[in-house]
Homo-oligomer: A and B are copies of this chain.
């Protein structure tokens, strides 16, 4: 059983996918509502699929170019197999497939949720959450399945070859990085493109519809209303899904890479062996991911309300219950899995501190840190963006003196919210590293991501409910239907903000794990920002998220302007449109959003992918590491700032719907203060739905590109390459004096150089005497010492 452990995640992934199909069938079986409702739902679905189809066309071009480049790399670099190419292609396909399934079901579920809301709130929740569950399980199931199958295949291909376990496994994981890169590339298109799409449609619909024509949200007379609803699916469902699919895969991959290093550290004296094909530490993260799927399935059963008069609080509670049960089950399972799959004591090499022995329980504590930080960052996000809390109330108060003070207050809320989030994040890095090195950091991220299926179910349920409200409005259903969908929608707004907090936390930890994997992959012994080139690239990296955000925001502005012109044209030219006798050309608006989104995402996409390649090739591995760190630090800051400012502005505006007290007076919708709040919300829209969430992709993709090109850089920066390395253990018994002789032959500037080191170790493992014979210049000697130290580890 143990040696076939890889089948456990495969089985669990298949279980997840089976459960997904059952849920999907169930959703489809629900009553689809009146003909009008079906028609609207169909328009939304067609619009969404049209966007996906257009996106896929662009993607095919991208995948072909990227595959060619990857194939080129695989020819150049001995440690990279050409099999990275199919892995890349399948990563892209699986991610696209997951998004496609999720969006299809989401667009099916909207009208069905509205129809169910006719009967009762519990039923409406069941349908909308059912739709979300399909999305969540689709993403998690396909991710784990894809990773496991490719891992199994690659190990069968490469592990038998000559060379050490470590070297062969590096080839396996390098090829597997292709799968992650493929997934993340789709995420770039889905998240950035989707973000531009959804806000262009939203702003366009609002500016002309609500403001100029004075018709309500989701009014069928508004030509952009379908595009607006498509946008919710494209951005919030498919975009978020692809984002988390990417994080999920990348986290597990990074943890596997670091597991391989753990095995290397533990093979210092004798080759590491265990019952799991000697790869327990590598398999652990993927098994935890598989178990997380099961835990999520169990969690989904607990989401439901009984009372038809339930309000937001009860619905929220039901979602929280499911979520927490999934988390706690994962936690318990992780405990046993870690005990089962890892040796009791691990030998880890801590940077600059040498090898240390840590208990495998430390790894478990790291996962606890991951789970705790994920939960706490969500709490912080909720605090800064929730109705009635101090930050939002502060923006509300500042709306009374006009748009300018509202904007300043909103910006300040977003900026302040970085404080606790970053402190938590820094504590997570520090704590999990202290416990179990970078393997601990990666497993903290893995644990956090393990319940992705549940998280996504909760995230995707929001836009479905939002769409259901739209369908209800457009097909003029009775008021109580809209009231029920509004309750779900309102809960959905909170879960959306919290979900964004989760997404950024996971992206940040993922990036960090990838960063650690990158450093070890390249073979550099750290990233020293005291070197001028590294420091310069740290600054350049810090700038990229800022410029990326500006581009994304401007793209929304440009696309929205096109939409405004089109909507104005239709109002002007289509007779009877305002009276409801003429039918608006919805498809044209959908088309505009689609084209604009795809066009506008090319530049930021290219910047993300090409900049690290250029820096890596021009300056080498260590400066690229500085660049990656700069992108991460700045990207995390700007993501939190933009997401939370946007969320807070949104809810500050919403506060006026129920009425708020400003200076002792109740103030409502339509007041000057409300108008100021609407301005703030309009500024916040691209923040929270376009540029903010794009940061996740930017930081992950930057680190992934770095990881994939790492092997080229290794050769590029180091002018010396080890030609031959002999380690002769002259005497080695734990209780006696041991002697170890290392002979390293290296090529330096084309010439061969030899270094011999004899190390005598006393009983307690302390080195007693070390004799080195080195030849070459001082700089070369240093390089040699580095090499020798690395081999001593």
Does A629 contact B528, Cβ atoms closer than 8 Å? no
Does B781 contact A767, Cβ atoms closer than 8 Å? yes
Using A434-B532, A557-B398 as known contacts, say yes or no to A546 and B679 having CB atoms under 8 A apart: no
Chain B residues lying within 8 Å of A779, measured Cβ to Cβ, are 352-354
Task: Tell me which of B519, B641, B680, B775 contacts A546 (CB under 8 A).
Answer: B641
Chain B residues lying within 8 Å of A408, measured Cβ to Cβ, are 553-554, 556-557, 682-683, 686
Q: Does A98 contact B (CB under 8 A)?
A: no
Closest Cβ neighbor of A413 among chain B residues: B550
Interface residues of A in 512-540 (CB under 8 A from B): 512, 516, 519, 526-533, 535-540
Q: Does A774 contact B (CB under 8 A)?
A: yes
Does A412 contact B550, Cβ atoms closer than 8 Å? yes
Q: Does A83 contact B (CB under 8 A)?
A: no
Q: Does A441 contact B (CB under 8 A)?
A: yes
Listed stretches A99-107, A373-381, A422-430; interface member? A422-430
Listed stretches A243-251, A631-639, A729-737; interface member? A631-639
Listed stretches A146-154, A164-172, A399-407, A483-491; interface member? A399-407
Task: Tell me which of B398, B536, B679, B683 contacts A426 (CB under 8 A).
Answer: B536
Using A207-B401, A426-B540 as known contacts, say yes or no to A777 and B772 having CB atoms under 8 A apart: no
Chain B residues lying within 8 Å of A540, measured Cβ to Cβ, are 422-423, 426
Q: Does A433 contact B (CB under 8 A)?
A: yes
Task: Tell me which of B409, B434, B561, B770 contacts A781 (CB under 8 A).
Answer: B770
Q: Does A355 contact B (CB under 8 A)?
A: yes
Interface residues of A in 123-146 (CB under 8 A from B): none
Q: Does A543 contact B (CB under 8 A)?
A: yes
Interface residues of A in 636-688 (CB under 8 A from B): 636-637, 641, 678-680, 682-683, 686
Does A404 contact B775, Cβ atoms closer than 8 Å? no
Closest Cβ neighbor of A542 among chain B residues: B633
Q: Does A785 contact B (CB under 8 A)?
A: yes
Give Cα A128 to B412, complex, Å.
Answer: 37
Q: Does A386 contact B (CB under 8 A)?
A: no
Give Cα A40 to B529, complex, Å.
Answer: 53
Does B352 contact A531, Cβ atoms closer than 8 Å? yes
Does B528 contact A416, Cβ atoms closer than 8 Å? no
Does B532 contact A526, Cβ atoms closer than 8 Å? no
Chain B residues lying within 8 Å of A769, measured Cβ to Cβ, are 773-775
Give Cα A482 to B398, complex, Å.
Answer: 36
Q: Does A301 contact B (CB under 8 A)?
A: no
Q: How large is the interface on A (under 10, 10 to 19, 20 to 34, 35 or more residues)?
A: 35 or more
Does B419 contact A553, Cβ atoms closer than 8 Å? no
Shortest distance from the beta carbon of A281 to any chain B beta carbon, whole Å? 18
Q: Does A418 contact B (CB under 8 A)?
A: yes
Per-residue contact bits, chain A 763-793, to B (CB 8 Å; 1 contact, 0 not) = 0011111111111111101100100010010
Q: Does A261 contact B (CB under 8 A)?
A: no
Does A530 contact B536, Cβ atoms closer than 8 Å? no
Does A683 contact B529, Cβ atoms closer than 8 Å? no
Give Cα A549 to B417, complex, Å.
Answer: 12
Q: Does A438 contact B (CB under 8 A)?
A: yes
Q: Does A415 contact B (CB under 8 A)?
A: yes
Does B430 contact A633, Cβ atoms closer than 8 Å? no
Interface residues of A in 417-457 (CB under 8 A from B): 418-419, 422-423, 425-427, 429-430, 433-434, 438, 441
Q: Does A547 contact B (CB under 8 A)?
A: yes
Does B403 contact A633, Cβ atoms closer than 8 Å? no
Task: Tell me which of B411, B418, B679, B770 contacts A774 (CB under 8 A).
Answer: B770
Q: Does A630 contact B (CB under 8 A)?
A: yes
Chain B residues lying within 8 Å of A351, measured Cβ to Cβ, are 528, 530-531
Shortest distance from the beta carbon of A714 to any chain B beta carbon, whole Å? 15
Does B554 contact A412, Cβ atoms closer than 8 Å? yes
Does A773 contact B773, Cβ atoms closer than 8 Å? no
Does B547 contact A419, Cβ atoms closer than 8 Å? yes
Give Cα A405 to B429, complex, Å.
Answer: 39
Chain B residues lying within 8 Å of A415, measured Cβ to Cβ, are 546-547, 549-550, 553
Give Cα A51 to B186, complex, Å.
Answer: 58
Task: Tell me which of B407, B535, B554, B626 contacts A407 (CB under 8 A).
Answer: B407
Chain B residues lying within 8 Å of A683, measured Cβ to Cβ, are 404, 407-408, 411
Does B767 contact A770, Cβ atoms closer than 8 Å? no
Using A351-B530, A422-B539 as known contacts, say yes or no to A782 and B771 having CB atoms under 8 A apart: no
Shortest distance from the beta carbon of A357 to any chain B beta carbon, whole Å? 13
Shortest distance from the beta carbon of A184 to any chain B beta carbon, whole Å? 22
Chain B residues lying within 8 Å of A354, measured Cβ to Cβ, are 777-779, 782
Chain B residues lying within 8 Å of A775, measured Cβ to Cβ, are 766-769
Does A536 contact B429, Cβ atoms closer than 8 Å? yes
Give Cα A471 to B591, complex, Å.
Answer: 59
Task: Tell me which of B353, B425, B426, B634 contacts A634 (CB under 8 A).
Answer: B634
Chain B residues lying within 8 Å of A207, measured Cβ to Cβ, are 401
Using A529-B529, A629-B538, A682-B404 as known contacts, say yes or no to A778 and B785 having CB atoms under 8 A apart: no
Closest Cβ neighbor of A764 among chain B residues: B777
Per-residue contact bits, chain A 671-708, to B (CB 8 Å; 1 contact, 0 not) = 00000001110110010000000000000000000000
Give Cα A475 to B670, complex, Å.
Answer: 43
Closest Cβ neighbor of A535 among chain B residues: B429
Does B636 contact A637, Cβ atoms closer than 8 Å? no
Does B539 contact A633, Cβ atoms closer than 8 Å? yes
Does B427 contact A536, Cβ atoms closer than 8 Å? yes
Chain B residues lying within 8 Å of A768, measured Cβ to Cβ, are 775
Shortest distance from the beta carbon of A585 to any chain B beta carbon, whole Å? 23
Give Cα A779 to B351, complex, Å.
Answer: 10
Give Cα A536 to B427, complex, Å.
Answer: 7
Closest Cβ neighbor of A434 among chain B residues: B532
Shortest distance from the beta carbon of A651 to any chain B beta carbon, whole Å? 17
Chain B residues lying within 8 Å of A531, measured Cβ to Cβ, are 351-352, 526
Shortest distance from the beta carbon of A681 to any chain B beta carbon, whole Å? 8
Shortest distance from the beta carbon of A778 to any chain B beta carbon, whole Å? 5
Closest Cβ neighbor of A774 among chain B residues: B770
Does A533 contact B430, Cβ atoms closer than 8 Å? yes
Give Cα A771 to B770, complex, Å.
Answer: 8
Give Cα A517 to B472, complex, Å.
Answer: 66
**Could you write out 9 A-B pairs with CB less than 8 Å apart?**
A354-B779, A402-B679, A407-B683, A412-B553, A418-B543, A422-B540, A425-B539, A426-B536, A767-B781
CB-CB nearest 8 A-B residue pairs: A433-B532, A415-B550, A404-B682, A526-B528, A422-B543, A426-B536, A354-B779, A542-B633
Q: Knowing that A402-B679, A433-B532, A539-B633 touch, tell me 19 more A-B residue pairs with CB under 8 angstroms.
A: A351-B530, A351-B531, A354-B778, A354-B782, A405-B682, A407-B679, A408-B557, A429-B535, A433-B533, A441-B532, A526-B531, A528-B529, A529-B529, A529-B629, A542-B637, A766-B776, A767-B775, A767-B776, A768-B775
